[in-house]
Structure 1
């Protein structure tokens, strides 16, 4: 999809070479906004309770009928920790809080997707599917997963969580540059 009009001022866009790549740039001399590309940021939760993992069965495509970890996409002006906790609550009714970042997937394509997976601490609630995005939810022992249609990506995330070395990336609340709602994570 080509961006024809500037989202900043509404003027027509034109193609220019910037940083060695063709990019869409606002033709207005007073604006000059650059369209850097299309991006989406997804988050996913790995919530463990009593040695079992929280999974949901997708009720919609893509992946309808597959069991996956709860997750979704960030909202504008929402930090990723809030996003992942909200998605878990919306899809399952389970309250969980961020422990660490456990894995990341980079998927360059027409809409460049970055997916950040969090290990979450179970706080409370019993799994109840939202009935829209997911039609089943529950905590499952790892040996039960062998008999379930678990999405390949979720299998990879579970492997990353089970075989992790260290505690993963944790929020650095003491970051000297922390300001304006920014969140920093480090090993």
Structure 2
């Protein structure tokens, strides 16, 4: 998707050079708006229970029919840890808590996508598909996944989940300086 009009005043955007990068900026007098690009942030869950990983089968495109880890996109004003909890619950009925970020995928394209995978601690619930985004959900072993149509990114993430070496970025709930309203993660 390409921006053609100013989000502040509605005037046409014109291409200008900012530090060697072409950007769209407002041509309206005195507005000053710069469109920095199109971005999306996705999250994925790696929920383990008894040595098995929670997977869902996609009922919609993209990836209809493939098994993936639960996930979705953050909402504008939603903390990322709440996003992943919500997405897991909405898709599967499972309650889980995010413990750390264990993987990041950077996918530059028309809408630049950054995807963060969270290790999560299972709390409660039995997997039940939402019937809209996913049509099946369950905990599966690596052996069971061998006969399933598992998406390639999910295969990579399952390897990370099963290696479970404890590394990753953990939420910093007590930073050395107050940074209210910011999600902070550290090793």
Q: Structure 1 residue 4: deviation in Å? A: 1.9
Instruction: Work out whether 1:56 is the aligned partner of 2:60.
Output: no
Deviations 1:48-96 (A, max 9, x none): 0111111000001111111110000000011110000000000000000
What count of residue pairs does the alignment treat as equivalent?
187
2:101 partner SS:
strand
**Contact 1:106–1:115 at 8 Å: present in 2 too?**
yes
Give distance in 2, aligned partners of 1:11 and 1:175. Answer: 42
Aligned equivalent of 1:147: 147
Give distance in 1, aligned partners of 2:136 and 2:85. Answer: 18
1:81 partner SS:
helix
Q: Within 5 Å, give how 1:42-121 maps onto structure 2.
A: 42-121=42-121
Give distance in 2, aligned partners of 1:22 and 1:38. Answer: 14
Give distance in 2, aligned partners of 1:156 and 1:177. Answer: 36
Q: TM-score, normalised by structure 1?
A: 0.95
**Contact 1:178–1:184 at 8 Å: present in 2 too?**
no
- Segments of 4+ moved more than 4 angstroms: none
Q: TM-score, normalised by structure 2?
A: 0.95
Aligned equivalent of 1:18: 18
